[in-house]
Amino acid sequence: MGRVRALAGIAALTAMTLLAGCGPGPSGASAGPATWRGPSATGSATDPAARASALVAGFSDEDLVGQVLMPFAYGEDATKASSQAATANRGYAGVDTAAQMVEKYRLGGLILMNRAAGDPTASTNKTSNITSPAQVRTLTDGLQRVAATLPSRAPLLVATDQEYGVVNRLRDGVTQLPSAMAFGAAGDPALTRAAWAAAGSDLRAVGINVDFAPIADVVEQGGGVIGSRSYGSDPAAVSGQVRAAVQGLRDAGLAATLKHFPGHGHTNGDSHTQLPVLGQSRDQLAAGDLPPFSAGIGAGVDLVMSGHLDVRAIDPGVPASFSSKVLIDLLRGQLGFRGVVVSDALNMAPAQKYPPGEAAVRALVAGNDLLLMPPDLTAAQRGLLDGLRSGQLPKQRLVEAATRVLTLRLRLAGYRQPDLASVAGAPRQAAAAKVTAAAVTLLRGGCQGPLVPRGPVRVTASSGRDQQTRWLSEALRAQGYAVGQSGPEVRLVGYGDEKTDLSSGAAVTVAMDEPLILAGSKSPVLLATYSSSQAAMTSLAAVIAGAAPAPGRSPLDVPGLPRSGCVR
């Protein structure tokens, strides 16, 4: 389990880490509507790290263990649950409701989730408890009322995977950003920061204070399993985007998370179902995978998520999420990260090679501070408590982890929560729309005037894309087109359409996910939006009509096509 190495790392880093807090506060542009109250220079009672250290010193073993657990819960309300949700909660944690779970296990955090069609992460999402901004705010308010009664009196970490694009938990009623790859195509970190600050303010208003974003993975030219969730294939460009996204989220008062350390981009294996192998050398990792993580750490990111990845050059055969060589030696020792390391979900296949209790102990000893989504919460808690008593889990390691988590919780208490009425306001949506319009890329076709003559036109897409078809049809009508069953075809393709035959037919083919799918298309006009949001369809219609340019550049190579047919 790497216990000797882990203890050596703990001894070397404990003093620095516990007093340093969770990284610097926002820098550069104005912090926007949230007010950041950083650690004081004197280490007084207002210093989150000092307060956390003092509180943890008085915690029971159960309170210490609770700090490092971030499970999920069934039900859309904190204190009420349907009979089905209550039954599921009893099987998972021996309680009926989410509020009871927080109280019984003295939790440091809880993750909210939503299972959606076309989501590549859906296999591990065991429930859906996100429906609308108002519902989420009611749920999170109820959870925080319970957290306020626990010994720490600190806000609960309420997290979700709001990456936008294909991984997008709250889709309705909030500001919607395009995918990471769209930001890479737009190539403007200032727009990136403003957009993430806008969307982050919406998340903060509904009570989410931790976003498991941005993705820091650099993809290969072939896209790999991460696809449009990545900002692109160039480490320097991705680093700039990651830095800006972290700054934007922190401007909004959210804790940002880099994932999946040390980089999931150079693999076609999906860590939800298998242990992907990373075959890069140490030099290749340093040059191609680690720069965005370093950039995010330099921007003050609060969390880094450890990936279930077999990094052969560092600790062959051991998932990075269970490797002290990766998490302590590399992440903390070489990259200097001082914040919270959160494991990727422990209900994913590589983590379930161990029983839940053993997995929890191994993950914590390896250097994780927060254990995400254990498959059996009762067993995970019992395993950690038994590990403390047996010495398998050194108490010093648990205290260190709990202190880091509590420091973050106390730091987040320094931000005021925006009013729910501010969600999806015009300024926030405008910030997102700027990026969306800047991302539209023309890979084949003319750069002046309409790409399709005004007149009859038909919009097609694969099944399951009726909403996008409607949005684009409405936007084209607003540009003067008669949309119906005749005329040139505008075909929308995206995630899940990789095996679609695009060798003939449409006048225009549009990639709404990564653009690699366009390599086989014979359409005279090829466009990429990288996203399927309503704003993306509106921007697309303007480009088709010749009312707006296509200013984006593909952030990865598409065989046989330029990065842009209009922009050098």
Active site residues: 272, 344
Sign of CA dihedral 235, 238, 244, 246: negative
- For tokens 């055969």, what's the residue? 317
Hey, what are 330's tokens? 């590399």
Contact predicate 535/541, CB 8 Å:
no
d(CA 220, CA 199): 28
Crossing angle, helix 395-412 and helix 48-57, to 10 degrees?
Answer: 140
Contact predicate 159/170, CB 8 Å:
no
Three-state SS for 444-485 is ECCCCCCCCCCCEEEEEECCCCHHHHHHHHHHHHHCCCEECC
Residues β-bridged to residue 280: none
Contact predicate 121/161, CB 8 Å:
yes
Crossing angle, helix 466-478 and helix 534-544, to 10 degrees?
Answer: 40
Hey, what are 10's tokens? 């703990």
d(CA 121, CA 110): 18
Instruction: Give the containing element (helix H, strand E) for 42.
Output: none
- DSSP of 488-548: SEEEEE-TT-TT---SS--SEEEESS-GGGGGG---SEEEE-S--SHHHHHHHHHHHTTSS
Q: Which of 372, 215, 201 is nearest to 295 (CA)?
A: 215
Other beta carbons less than 10 A from residue 138's beta carbon? 17
Hey, what are 74's tokens? 């069934």
Per-residue CA distances from 518 to 139, 180, 437, 514, 557 (Å) = 42, 19, 20, 9, 11
d(CA 416, CA 334): 34
What does the chain come to in residues?
568
Identity at 19, one-letter amino acid code: L
